[in-house]
Every structure is written in C-alpha cells, then in structure tokens.
Amino acid sequence: MIYLDDIIYNIEKEKCVLFVGSLVGVPKGERPLDRINRDLKSFREIEIDQYYKRDQLFFFTNQSSKHQTYRTINRLYGNLPPESIHEKIAQIPLDLVVSVSPELRLKKAYDQYCGEMNKDYFFMHYNMRRELREIKPDRNHPLLYNLCGSLEDEHSVIFTFEDLADFFESAFTNKLPMEFIYEIKEANTFVFIGCDFNVWYTKLIFRLLNIHKDSLMVYATDQADLDEETRIFYQKNFKVRFLEGDVDTFVEELYEKCKEKDLLRKEKQPVLEENVEKKGGLKEDILAMIANGQIGEVITKLMVYFDKNEDTESLFEVITQSAKFRDLEKQIREKTVKNEDIEVGKSRIIKALLQITKNIQES
C-alpha cells in the first residue's frame, strides 16, 4: 500500500508523529469509559452523580467522590500489562508518540524496548509550561507524551467537564512543552489510530496542534460507528484520509513493513542487578540534576512532589523560582541580558531550589 511507504519514509526522516487513542487495545465496539462506568457500579463506595456517555465525562457532586473514583480506576486498570498491539507500536522507530489516553500500557511497552527515552504528560493545573529534558527526541531517544494526563497523577486526568475546560485553557495558552511543540511543527505526517472522532472535543485537539494545514499528510484508522457528517467534517477541515481496515490491521501492516526494512527496535537486554549501582532518594536525584544543569527538570520534579504531598507553601516557592527561570530563559533567547547576569540569575535560582529541596521528607 502506497500510504504505508509514505508513512515509513517520514518515520525514517523523523517527520512522522503517531497519535494513539483510547480505542487502542480495547474490544471492538467498546469505549473505555463505558466499561469503566459499568465496572464501577459494583463498588458501593463510589458515588458518580452522572456519567455522560456521549461526551465520555463524569460529574461528581464533591471532590471526595472524584478522588475515590480515581483510586478505584487506578487500582483496576493502572497495573494492566501491555497488549501485543502496544508492544508492536513501541518497536516502530518513531521519535514522537502522543497518547490521548491516560492509561499506562503503552508506557510499559516502551519500557521494554527503549532504554533512554523521555516520558511525560501534560498537567493542566500548572500555571506554566512544563519543560522536558534537553535531549531532542529521535528514534533512539523517543518521546512518549500523554497529552491528556496520566493515571500516575490523579490531578492530570480529565474526568469531568471542568477538567476538560482546564485542559484546553492551559493548552491553548501555550503551556505545552517547547520540545513537544517543536516536534509537532517539524512533522509533516500525522497518523491517528484508535481515536474517538465521535467525541466533540477531538476536533479541538486537532486545532490545538494546528493539524489543518494543506501541506500536512494526515491519516487515521477508520471508526466503525463514525457518522458520515463527522467523517466529512474531518476530511474537509483537517484533510484526514481515513484508512481501510481497523486499528489492529493497520498496526500489524506497519509493523511488518518496518520488520522487512529491519527498522524495528530490539527488546532491551536485562541488566544484572549486581552491575547496577544503588540509587539514592529524590534529594540525591535532584542534586545530581542540578550538577548537570537540568534546572527545568528539577523544577518539574519538585512541583510534582510538593503537589502530591499537599505542601502548598513549598509548591508556591517552586512556582516562584520557575517563573524566574522562564523569564531568564526568555531574556537569553532575546539576548537582552549580559553573560555575567545570566550566571548570577542561575546561581540565585539554584540556591533557592537547593533550599527548597530541604523540605523533602524521605523515610
């Protein structure tokens, strides 16, 4: 098939981005939240005031009900092993894969095949842009980005309409990581597999990522229950070419084509435990990152830690330093700051971060 050759050509040129939707790795004709809502009904302690089937969103009367729902979902689905389709996707040598589902099976598959890689997710509640590590994604160091949050972090997952509104407000005001935005802008081919086009806000995700330019090649696996009007909308507004066959068929064909060309990633070899140095705790990790100049990554780790531990005072201090760091970076880019002032500014930020790190409580 000609389109497969085009996709593989752009994968090799590192110009192709794969979007993995919520319908990947689920039984045909089933939507994940429909199943989750059905499973949750067997738990008496779960109080979901309303489930909106068409929008795939919940409504909770209070935060404790929402929290209990997240914990139960994470317990039921957070430890599921990857399916064969996830493992095949992980072996295809893409430099950027975007998951629009918060589940972790694809992440676990990537752990099997990618030694050095970047994995992150969009956190809608940070009033700033999360920065990824400095290594540019490529086929040897791919980026797996969970655009709609991750089950690893309760506050990043989109459960309700309010969460959805927060997500788009944050994303449309340029809070997405610069490395992610750069990779999206550099790509000329986008492939969407298992995405639910019947959900109205999928259109906004397309627009958010500027997938409406005539120069782009946009492919999508077909959806059996997609109505004709919606199909035409995507074809006209986003130039989407819907492919014949289902998700499993497409991934299998792409996988086999890559296999023929000897492009597939090999599974990581297990490392003997005696050859691995024992790692320290979070404080030691942060000190090592500061020594390597990874200030952005330090800020992200501290934010996640203090947010999860509900230390709002320390979190505010980190946010303050993050704003200073972003401002300094902007001045450096615009060349409006002297070299000596750059060093002074970085030194002050590092000193403040080291002081904040003392607030980490480790057993």
Distances 158 to 55, 154, 293, 302 between C-alpha atoms, Å: 12, 9, 33, 22
Q: Which two tokens stand for residue 146?
A: 């969970």
What are the strands of the beta sheet with 16-20, ordered from one edge?
118-121, 143-146, 96-99, 16-20, 189-193, 217-221, 240-243
- Compute the distance between CA of residue 95 and CA of residue 14 in angstroms, rounded to an integer: 6
Do residues 196 and 22 lie in contact, with contact meaning Cβ atoms separated by under 8 Å? yes
The per-residue pLDDT for range 247-286, each reduced to its tens digit, is 999 999 999 999 999 999 887 655 444 443 444 588 888 8
- Compute the distance between CA of residue 61 and CA of residue 255 in angstroms, rounded to an integer: 45
- Which residue is it, tokens 């039984």? 27
The per-residue pLDDT for range 199-209, each reduced to its tens digit, is 999 999 999 99
Report the percentage of the chain scoring pLDDT > 90.
43
Provide the pLDDT confidence category of residue 111 given band limits of 50, 70 and 90: confident
Do residues 292 and 135 lie in contact, with contact meaning Cβ atoms separated by under 8 Å? no
Burial of 352 (0-12, 13-18, 19+ CB in 10 A): middle
On whether the pTM is more than 0.75, the answer is no
Residue 299 has pLDDT above 60, yes or no: yes
Three-state secondary-structure class, residue 22: coil
Residue 129 has pLDDT above 60, yes or no: no
Q: Which two tokens stand for residue 283?
A: 């404080």
Three-state secondary-structure class, residue 254: helix
- Which residue is it, tokens 């309700």? 160
Residue 11 has pLDDT above 80, yes or no: yes
Q: Which two tokens stand for residue 153?
A: 């972090």
The per-residue pLDDT for range 45-55, each reduced to its tens digit, is 788 899 999 99
Greater model confidence, 52 or 174: 52
